[in-house]
Amino acid sequence: MIKDLPQFNDIMPDKIVLALQEILADNLKILDTQDLSHPIEVLEIIENRLHKFWSPISHLHAVHDTPALREAYNSCLPLLSDYETTISHHEKLYQAICRYQPKNSYEKRIIELKLRDFRLSGIALSAEKKLRYGEIEKKLSELGARFSENILDSTQAWSYVASDQELIGIPKDIIPEDKKLTLDYPCYSAVQKYAEDRSLREKCYQAYVTRASDLNDLKYDNTEIMQNILSLKYELAEILGFKNYAELSLETKMAKSSDQVLDFLDKLVAHAKPAAQKELKELAEFAGHELAPWDVAFYGEKLSQKKYHSHQELFRPYFPAEYVLSGLFSLVSQLYNLNFKKINNTEVWDAEVSCFEIIDQHQKLRGIFYVDLYTRKQKREGAWMDDYCSRYKKPDGELQIPVAYLTCNFMRPQKDQPGLLTHDDVMTLFHEFGHGLHHLLTTIDYIDISGINGVPWDAVELPSQFMENFCWEKSILKKLSKHYQTNESLPDDLINNLLASRHFNAGLQLLRQLEFGLFDFYLHLKKPENKDYVLNLFRETHNKTAVMPAPDYLRFPHTFSHIFNGGYSAAYYSYLWAEVLSCDVFSLFEENGVLDAKTGQKFLNQLLSQGGSQPPEILFKNFRGREPDQTAFLKSWGLMQ
């Protein structure tokens, strides 16, 4: 057994709260009583211990939730919030950091970030305002958790047993044996793309877009929670001296101003909207009638099949999940000279979870990660990377190896077949693995700036989106694919059709992301005026940006976890901002050969391994030799030749 990995079997919900209280009290005692002449070192010790205690609990709450665990988890949130507030207002610690003379450029960067964070958490506020700051942070933590729980519970509360007639068109390997349809994304997406029965598509669409809202079971309604979250964030920004929460958010981003963000998004809308209008017109002509939202994916899939003789389900047999994963390992090994080895004697939270270690060319262990690929009950929807611990050189010289969790929600293996992925699924896996590599391959020995730590939100997606580009390379698709029955790789005609379809409906897809980005940013520019503020603003943004009217019952904001419980408040634009950077990075690989090891090593050494040790604009310029350019991004979306 490798030491110092999370012990999931030891997590007892009834013991969590007391154990957390003891750690928090001990951490604060250390800060209050110990000499803080080396504040970075002291903070690393106490924060590392806390993170390694809490991370497995938080992770289990997301992937294997139970009523007892949820109760314990929610009981801990106010304790953690109080602790964070105490740390951020700790005058002795603040003065120690102000006095500290950094020993190197890494410590200088950490001190810069620490002083910024102290400022943004109100170290200079009056006692009364500090108290209110703490109350707001605690409440936001509780509200965010309830927001996500309402989505999970609302999603799982709905099911529909369909008739054979209604299921016509949906691939048989997607349909559950009991014919019970759910709102889990793989099932919902399949209905939208393939169900010939238009009323079934509409039924599932309406159920999906009204989850956790006033139009569904009211005990899961997120309306008031959204209102409260936005009001509290606006108040928090005001207390700290900002005009609105968007300005506060940008203090920790690459983008420098609200105008810069809005200009960035508006210019992309100008590129995407004409393309989207043209695409929607083509779809409507193909369908022979005016389209509703539950028609777009269906006719998009039909038209794509007609034009390119390819659709996502054609790829499933060629992409067994485990084979794709091994192909991904081979690709990364070639780029960065690494080896991946499965570890069989680690504790996991589900029998389908695997654990791997990364060994570099010098036979040194660089990182360990868990892979959880398939959807199941009590597991949060979506895909994400999270960490158990960061790379860290301890005061005694021992090196702590970074450990990460990679989580997806792919279609489960069936009795007669393994878990099979679509091409979209493969891209999702590559994306999350990019986050994992960013965290695991760091060479920085300080927790605050190793891996993804200290990296601005609008740059943190660069390594993940960079990895997606490899999923559009013919030679790589060949290596990733192996038919689960015949062992054949993807045939050339299928790959060629896929590549030809890359920009199909790209305008519509990009415009949707721009709509979300603009809505998020507008949402955080003002204080919510009334209980209808969120929905009204969403409709205004949709009408300004989208090319198809939305039904009155659309409640998209009620499940927008990214901004209400995911760290992307006034930062959803980050995905596109970082994609500009990632496409520009990949263009150098295209110039030198996509699997060029020399370029791979340069990317690893100058950007991927550097964490938050320098501002991302400097790391980017070190690698690319110039400022970012949007050309590669626009080409990747088919908006420029």
Per residue in 166-175, pLDDT (tens digit) is 999 998 878 8
Whether the per-residue pLDDT at 146 is higher than 90: the answer is yes
Whether the per-residue pLDDT at 211 is higher than 60: the answer is yes
Q: Which residues pair with 417 in a beta bridge?
A: 414
pLDDT band for 311, please (50, 70, 90 cuts).
Answer: confident
* 99-140: pLDDT as tens digits: 999 999 999 999 999 999 999 999 999 999 999 999 999 999
> What are the structural domains of the chain?
8-124 (1.20.1050.40), 318-505+575-636 (1.10.1370.40)
Mean pLDDT over residues 314-319, rounded? 94
Whether the per-residue pLDDT at 641 is higher than 80: the answer is no
Please name the amino acid found at residue 501. S
Backbone angles phi, psi at 285, to 5 degrees: -65, -40
CA distance 433 to 356: 12
Mean pLDDT over residues 447-461, rounded? 95
Q: Residue 239's closest CA among 143, 137, 134, 125?
A: 125
Residue 172 has a pLDDT of 83
pLDDT band for 64, please (50, 70, 90 cuts).
Answer: very high
CA distance 409 to 402: 24
CA distance 8 to 58: 11
User: For the whole model, what pTM was predicted?
Assistant: 0.89
CA distance 385 to 366: 17
Whether the per-residue pLDDT at 484 is higher than 80: the answer is yes
- DSSP run (H or E) holding 276: helix 258-287
Please name the amino acid found at residue 299. Y
Whether the per-residue pLDDT at 1 is higher than 60: the answer is no
Q: Of 175-179, 235-239, 530-534, 573-577, which gets the smallest average pLDDT?
A: 175-179
Whether the per-residue pLDDT at 74 is higher than 50: the answer is yes
Residue 566 has a pLDDT of 84
Q: What DSSP line would sit under 482-548, residue for residue?
A: --TTT-PPPPHHHHHHHHHTTTTTHHHHHHHHHHHHHHHHHHTTS---STTHHHHHHHHHHHHH-SS
pLDDT band for 2, please (50, 70, 90 cuts).
Answer: low
Q: Residue 408's closest CA among 186, 623, 573, 202?
A: 186
Whether the per-residue pLDDT at 472 is higher than 70: the answer is yes
CA distance 4 to 390: 12
Residue 567 has a pLDDT of 87
Backbone angles phi, psi at 126, to 5 degrees: -70, 165
Beta strands 399-400; 403-410: pairing state: unpaired
CA atoms within 13 A on the CB side of 183: 22
Identify the three-state secondary structure at position 392.
Answer: strand
Can 282 be counted among the known catalytic residues?
Answer: no
Burial of 432 (0-12, 13-18, 19+ CB in 10 A): buried
Q: Of 19-28, 31-40, 375-384, 573-582, which gets the smallest average pLDDT?
A: 375-384
Catalogue the E-assigned strands of 287-402: 338-343, 354-360, 365-374, 384-389, 392-393, 399-400
Which among 149, 357, 432, 579 is annotated as catalytic? 432
CA distance 50 to 76: 12
Residue 108 has a pLDDT of 98
CA atoms within 13 A on the CB side of 453: 29
